[in-house]
Amino acid sequence: ENKVVLITGASSGIGEASARLLASRGAKVVLGARRDDRLRQIAEGIEEDGGQAAWRKLDVTDPQQNKDFVAFAKERYGQVDVMFLNAGLMPSSPLSALKTDEWDRMVDVNLKGVLHGIAAALPEFTAQKSGQFITTSSVAGLKAYPNGAVYGATKWAVRELMEVLRMESAMEGTHIRTATIYPAAIQTELLNTITDKGAKEAMNQTYDSYQITPDRVASVVAFAIDQPEDTNVSEFTIGPTIQPW
């Protein structure tokens, strides 16, 4: 495909794997995250492999940076087709630990970051009457887990955003597609964001036993994008076959 795909949280894990896979299939990928050294390296690797990639430093918590990210992509490639709102962090802890700064951070990145991304790209999609938002939610957005209350709340919320956006767009005749992905344990750097000792040990045990590589999630992203324009696939749960939840 020849689509222009913007990816937030593209400096590692699921975002990086998606950038590499989509570029290998002909997409023009635009990578955003805070670690611009990594973005540069990934983009250079994609180009060395014959793909097309651009990058721009992006903190998704800043509305203006989201707008600048979309404008940069449009200037570079002439259009914007897909916005993969994937940036996220998971500093899990029991509510009783009162890690209120981490609660704020999860709301700012996992939820408000997605809203800022929508606000940045939606005017483009509305004007061109096409476009697609994909977001990385979590199995924690489908089911409650101890230590995951705030994380799960943010991930449940983004599912709501995708669903309502799709419905409203259908009603308004703007043909915007949306999809939500619910990964289980995927081998990425996500656990590095956990500061609570007990939560980290519990998560490490889970991830030591059950994990698959992020390219599996990337293939789901590609599948959603590859559907014909008149077809919307909305939700995907993906995780290791042996993971019991």
143 near ligand NJP, judged by CB under 6 A: no
User: Is 151 known to be catalytic?
Assistant: yes
Interacting positions 106-125 with ligand NJP (CB under 6 A)? 109
One of 9, 51, 117, 131 touching ligand NJP (CB under 6 A): 9
Interacting positions 154-213 with ligand NJP (CB under 6 A)? 183, 185-186, 188-190
33 near ligand NJP, judged by CB under 6 A: yes
One of 89, 120, 162, 221 touching ligand NJP (CB under 6 A): 89
Q: Which of 77, 151, 182, 210 is catalytic?
A: 151
Closest to ligand NJP by CB, 24 vs 211, is 211
Binding segment toward ligand NJP, per CB under 6 A, in 47-55, 86-94, 96-104, 228-236: 86-94
93 near ligand NJP, judged by CB under 6 A: no
Instruction: Single out the residue of 69, 226, 222, 218 nearest to residue 238, CA to CA.
Output: 218
CB of 152 to ligand NJP, least distance (A): 9
Catalytic center residues: 151
